[in-house]
């Protein structure tokens, strides 16, 4: 097991991106609720079928992953993977239902310079527009607070649910191809309107070139 690295979140206490039905907040490695939820979400059949099986099989592993990987993204990029929670009435705490992310690789690994947006919602909460609402909320925050104007969306070409979400948040379909950063995997590519049609500008090279 990887050694745990001491990191702290760059977000102020209580930071939250609020939408009409959702709270979008940073992950806390010291929260047993956050760690337990990540284990639950990433081990659903829906997530495994879409993203593959991970090594996050218990709360301890989830907490280490959040501290070492998620907080690193926060520190380096001021964005990363966030917890999506359903607002409850009165004083009840919000209920975790999924994640939404703006992720970007870093050198020396193969990487691209614009982040890509991702989302995962528990099966029992899917089909209610939460992924679209969360993705729109994060995009609007990233554009207004971080000045981010270039964002990609990637998914398996056969994943119609993810493709509908990307289309519903206003992204343009840029085709299906194999990208070097993803090896031989064929990928459906989406991008925000106004981004260059030359993907190489963002560090994305097609395998066939």
pLDDT digits (tens, 9 = 90+) for 159-208: 999 999 999 999 999 999 998 888 778 999 999 999 999 988 998 877 55
For the chain, what is the domain count?
A: 1
User: Is 209 a member of any domain?
Assistant: no
Please tell me the number of Cα atoms within 13 Å of 38 on its side-chain side. 28
Does residue 19 carry a pLDDT above 50? yes
* pLDDT of the residue at 205: 79
Query: For residue 190, is it within any domain?
Result: yes
In angstroms and rounded to an integer, the radius of gyration of the C-alpha atoms of the chain is 17
Which domain range does residue 113 map to? 17-202
CA 18 to centroid of chain Cα atoms: 17
Phi and psi torsions of 187, nearest 5° = -135, 140
Answer whether residue 107 shows pLDDT above 80. Answer: no
Contact present, 188 and 177 (Cβ < 8 Å): no
Domain-located, residue 161: yes
- In this prediction the pTM is 0.90
- Tens-digit pLDDT profile for residues 31-50: 999 999 999 999 999 999 98
Burial class (CB in 10 A: 0-12, 13-18, 19+), 26: buried
Q: What is the pLDDT of residue 5?
A: 44
**The CATH number of the domain where 124 resides is what?**
3.40.630.30
Evaluate whether residue 9 is within a structural domain: no
Separation of alpha carbons 179 and 58, rounded Å? 33
Question: Terminal CA-to-CA distance of the chain, rounded, Å?
Answer: 39
């Amino acid at each position: 097991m990887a050694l745990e690295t001491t990191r702290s979140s760059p977000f102020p206490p209580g930071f939250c991106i609020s939408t009409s039905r959702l709270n979008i907040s940073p992950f806390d490695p010291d929260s047993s609720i956050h760690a337990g939820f990540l284990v639950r979400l990433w081990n659903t059949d829906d997530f495994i079928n879409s993203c593959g099986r991970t090594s996050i099989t218990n709360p301890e592993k989830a907490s280490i992953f959040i501290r070492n990987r998620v907080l690193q993204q926060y520190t380096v990029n001021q964005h990363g993977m966030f917890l999506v929670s359903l607002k409850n009435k009165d004083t009840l705490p919000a209920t975790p239902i999924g994640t939404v992310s703006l992720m970007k690789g870093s050198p020396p690994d193969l990487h691209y310079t614009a982040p890509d947006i991702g989302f995962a919602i528990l099966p029992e909460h899917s089909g209610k527009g939460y992924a679209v609402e969360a993705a729109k909320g994060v995009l609007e925050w990233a554009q207004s607070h971080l000045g981010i104007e270039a964002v990609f969306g990637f998914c398996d070409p056969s994943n119609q649910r993810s493709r509908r979400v990307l289309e519903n948040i206003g992204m343009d379909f840029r085709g299906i191809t194999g990208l070097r950063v993803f090896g031989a995997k064929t990928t459906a590519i989406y991008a925000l309107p106004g981004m260059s049609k030359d993907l190489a500008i963002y560090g994305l090279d097609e395998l066939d070139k």
